[in-house]
Amino acid sequence: MMEPADIALCTNLDNILTRLRTQLSLRGAKGIRGLAISFQNADFNGNKCLDRADFEEVLTNCGLFLKTPEITTLFRYFDVNGDGSISYEEFLKGCAPPLTERRLTMVRRVFDMLDEDKSGILTVSDVINKYQVNSHPDVARGKARPEDVLEDFLEGFEGSRTGNHDAEVTWEEFADYYHDLSASIPDDDYFCVVMEQCWMISESQDPEINAQLDQLELILKRKVAEKTKGNQNEASVLRKTFRFFDSDESGQITMDEFRKALEVFGISLERKHTQGFFARYDPNGDGVIMYEEFIQALLPEATVSLNTSILTQRK
């Protein structure tokens, strides 16, 4: 059982790391890697460790300003054996939280896509040829020049923590690069957008997500049935909901409108699932779904029943 003093230390440490990660995030993609380079430059004897004074100087040089007691807390925590020095490799890993399962899945998919010969090793030239630097969100928004983004990307491998300059990229190096980049992207959705746009890969194409979409469709059918009362028709109930969110009465709904419509039935979609539905029902990729087509695909029997009823009434 942890003592109160240990609990207080862990809480304080978590708070300090949170603040440090926030500062690194504000520095963008170069945050963690810039810190790594500074640590390597300060490691004059090459033992991958820093003493207390060097550690504080590195943080200051990187623009990471912590109070002296906070630096002391960090240093004491990472100085595992109490010899007055810390492994900056372990410190860097502590600064950047592990990739979430969702992020790691995307990184693995990209690596496997690039690793065409299944050797487990990529060449830098192979990576460059498929890296869509102009699709990087920062380039598209005018926040960075393509050449700067590409240079930063390559430095992530050729200037890696291991010092490996062999023009080859292993899975570990690839994952390490995105582990570092991940620290500067607090939102999972945005991280996945970066991966999709830079590598021309869709998260919604994951077989596991497709299986989840199948399950969500079944849930939606059940929820619609539960809301269908008396002489109502399931197709008309779903149509009425879509029409409510069809603000321009175009017969089409956007991703945001689609997500809000499904929330009426108690279904909250993650971005990957919303995108997945549009990959299924927006074949031309124009960002809208013809909801009559969606209703017919989801509720074919109810749609036929409704059309038959309308024809009978007209006769």
Q: Which domains does the chain have, with CATH numbers?
A: 4-95 (1.10.238.10), 101-201 (1.10.238.10), 207-314 (1.10.238.10)
User: Residue 132 has what pLDDT?
Assistant: 84
Tokens of 268: 């909250």
Angle between helices 68-78 and 88-95 (to 10 degrees): 110
Full-model pTM: 0.55
Per-residue pLDDT of the chain (315 residues; tens, 9 = 90+): 334 444 444 557 778 877 777 766 666 545 666 777 777 777 777 778 888 888 888 888 767 778 888 888 888 888 878 888 888 777 777 777 788 998 999 999 999 988 988 899 998 777 888 888 887 777 877 878 888 888 777 776 654 444 454 578 899 889 888 887 787 677 888 888 888 888 888 877 777 888 899 999 999 999 999 999 888 899 999 999 999 999 889 999 999 999 999 999 999 998 889 988 988 888 776 788 999 999 999 998 766 444 444 334 444
Tokens of 105: 């899945």
Separation of alpha carbons 33 and 37, rounded Å:
6
CA distances from 149 to 123, 137, 140, 167 (A): 19, 10, 11, 18
Give the N- to C-terminal CA distance of the chain in Å, as an integer: 79
What are the residues facing 123 on neighbouring strands?
A: 168
Phi, psi of 170 (to 5 degrees): -85, 170
CB neighbours of residue 127 within 10 Å: 19
Backbone φ/ψ region at 251: left (φ over 0), alpha (ψ -120 to 50), beta: left
What b/e string do you get for 225-246 counting C-beta neighbours within 10 Å, with b at 16 or more?
eeebeeeebbbbbbbebbeebb
Residue 41 has, within 13 A of its CA and on its CB side, a CA count of 12
